[in-house]
Chains A and B, each alone.
Chain A
Amino acid sequence: HLQMQESGPGLVKPPETLSLTCTVSGASVSNNSYCWGWIRQPPGKGLQWIGSICYSVNSYYNPSLESRVTISIDASKAQFSLRLSSVTAADTALYYCARHPRWYPDFDYWGQGTLVTVSS
């Protein structure tokens, strides 16, 4: 069955770039019926959608983060990635990858999440 696993550094220094990868098994990231998204949850706060990418379609981002975010996909590795530049302490959060149908936020599969702390 489908599994998703986030990976990447747990500690990032400001104002460097945060880079995370989500590896998907049990499904193809090139399936045009689905898109692949990133969501985060800062400590003690609610969820925030960061952005999503659909294979063969442009990625789309939360406007509040758009200037700093890039999401890309590598179908050959069954992975998609998040890059968030110029990080600050406010970017400290539990980062999740998740799958959803194209254009609908019906997130049906999630990774377990990875904690990223931004600190010098």
Chain B
Amino acid sequence: QAVVTQEPSLTVSPGGTVTLTCGSSSGAVTSGHYPYWFQRKPGQAPRTLIYDATNRHSSTPARFSGSLLGGETALTLSGAQPDDEAEYYCLLSYSGAWVFGGGTKLTVL
């Protein structure tokens, strides 16, 4: 089964911009992997931020954006806020099988 890779941790300053990336051991990530991004805060269930690589969920703030770039999928946070400190997980689809990445712990400091 493919392994989905993410940075274990990243730090961003309040008001700053950070990009989280998600790659696949089986090759380039494409729109055919229907990439999802989830945010998870301590003690809470994950919530969907981005679906199909670039589409914001209805409740996702506009400061979050998704993209496909350089064979990976990316989540960019522009104008980070303290409330954005959380774990972020990507998910890729492989012919109907869903694989999560290991998660990125984002610190806003």
Which residues of A are at the interface with B, using a C-beta cutoff of 8 A? Answer: 45-49, 60-64, 96, 98, 104-110, 112
Interface SS, B side: strand
Known: A64-B1, A104-B51, A105-B36. A47 touches B96 (CB 8 A): no
Q: How far is the CB of B96 from chain A (nearest CB, A)?
A: 6
| Chain A to chain B contacts (Cβ below 8 Å), 14 pairs | A49-B91, A49-B99, A49-B100, A60-B96, A60-B97, A61-B97, A62-B98, A63-B97, A104-B51, A105-B36, A105-B98, A106-B36, A107-B45, A109-B45
State in angstroms the CA–CA spacing of A61 and B98 once bound together: 9
**Total number of A-B contacts with CB less than 8 angstroms?**
47
State in angstroms the CA–CA spacing of A112 and B46 once bound together: 11
How big is the B interface, by class? 20 to 34
Q: Is the CB of A49 within 8 A of B98?
A: yes
Interface SS, A side: loop
**A-side contacts of B97, CB under 8 Å:** 49, 60-63
Q: Is the CB of B48 within 8 A of A106?
A: yes
